[in-house]
Structure 1
Amino acid sequence: MSGTIRLLIADDHPIVRDGFRGVFASEPGFAVLGEAGNGAEAVAMAKALGPDVVLMDLRMPVMGGVEAIRELARAGVPARVLVLTTYDTEGDVRPAIEAGATGYLLKDTGREDLVRAVRAAARGEAVLAPAVATRLMSQVRTPQEALSDREVEILKLVADGATNREAAKRLFLSEATVKTHLLHIYAKLGVNDRAAAVAAGFRRGILSVEGR
């Protein structure tokens, strides 16, 4: 794209927003239109100001970054969203990209790399931090094992709030067998607890809001 790249900065820490503003204030070809302290503010400001690129933190009060990205997409806001966060786990990266983020960088990204990344994002190019790209490539090269029918049954019961004992009773299994299945589920989904397993189940389409 040509001309000035208009930016909106969304982060709940004023000092971080000041830092990003300082970076782009001294670079030619950029204009910071505004700053938002949470995702809801970012959505409202993006609708009103029409930025080319939104620098979006992920974990913010009121509305997080992923939800804000979804809201921008639903509203038809054409701004590119470049995530800037300290988190690079699959549970953070994949939802942001699936929601529509153009890029995903970590906050330790160098100044020059950040400026280049924003220019690339403004052109619609995908931008990924090296650590994030490596993680995603690893996932592609190592397909995750699918859950068995029994494991899906147990995950659905867990999503509905069932304890191990309740799941065992419903499925006519021993509680120890349910625990074993849960361990297999955790391993296949790459998580460590029940809440993360349920979240991964929804994210991967194993669970659905309608029928779970």
Structure 2
Amino acid sequence: MKIVIVDDDPLVCQSLKLMLELEDDFVVIGTAGNGQEALNFCKERDEKPDLILMDIRMPVMDGIESTKQIKKDFPRILIMMLTTFQDEPNIRLALQAGANGYLIKSTAEKNMTQQIRALQSGSSVFDETVVQKLVEPRADRLELLTDRENAVAERVAQGLSNKEIAEYLFLSVGTVRNTLSVILDKLELRDRTQLAIFYLRHKK
């Protein structure tokens, strides 16, 4: 099985490579430090990977966007998300992008080879904590927001910039930026795009 490892930490790439190549039927044909490099690898190399182990948060292009683009152009390539993030928005976005599996780094090392072989055989592979996130009913976290935070979130969902929100709500840009950071933390979201999607889906 030909594998590409995508992670912005070179030590993670190297340790995974060493571990996987202990198996006779696994060969790591490349590593990449971000999603764009992974996409370029698939486009430029004649030898395509059978499987990509993909981190989520990386510079230049994150793993979710990379997964989406790779799956669009190379649907037969299997992609396993291998990350520290176990929040529901990231999980759902990864699955929507076409990921075939989702593992948490802290628990994946114990049976990584078995999980890869399960994926290769056609099974979807998900960490137990990921499954729990997907099946548990979601609390309406919007109730955690203050009136100001809710107002900022609403304007983000409308597509306004920080400057436009500041002018609309008579706040400083710095206050809007800080408020947005608090909102993302409370709702366990990664960026304003996720916030906009979350708000539009869950607002009453």
Shorter-chain TM band: 0.7 to 0.9
1:19 corresponds in structure 2 to 15
2:199 matched to 1:201?
A: no
Q: Which protein shows a greater Rg?
A: 1
Identity %: 28
1:201 is aligned with what amino acid?
Answer: A
Corresponding residue to 1:111 among 109, 112, 115: 109
Task: After TM superposition, give the deviation of residue 203 of structure 1 in Å.
Answer: 5.8
Structure (1 or 2) with the greater helix fraction: 2
Q: Give the CA deviation at 1:154.
A: 7.9
Aligned position for 2:122: 124
Q: 110-119 or 83-92, which moves further after superposition? A: 110-119
C-alpha contact 1:12 1:36 (8 A) present in aligned 2: yes
Give, in angstroms, the shift of residue 105 of structure 1: 0.6
Q: Say if 2:83 is the partner of 1:81.
A: no
TM-score when normalising by structure 2: 0.72
Equivalent in the alignment of 1:163: 165
Distance 2:16 2:188 in 1: 35
Gaps of 5+ in 1: 169-185, 208-212
- For residues 58 and 26 of structure 2, the distance between their equivalents in structure 1, rounded to whole angstroms, comes to 25
Superposition TM-score, scaled by structure 1 size: 0.70
72-81 or 82-91, which deviates more: 72-81
Change (3 A) 1:196 1:24: closer
> Partners in 1 of 2:153 and 2:85 — Cα distance?
26
Please state whether the residue corresponding to 1:73 is helix, strand or coil. helix
State the partner residue of 1:180: none
Quote how far apart the aligned CAs of 1:50 are: 1.1
Gaps of 5+ in 2: 144-149, 171-182
Residue 204 to residue 52, structure 1, CA distance change in 2 (3 Å): farther
Superposition deviation, residue 163 in structure 1 = 3.1
Query: Deviating runs (4+, > 6 A) in structure 1?
Result: none
Give, in whole Å, the separation in 1 of the partners of 2:115 and 2:14.
19
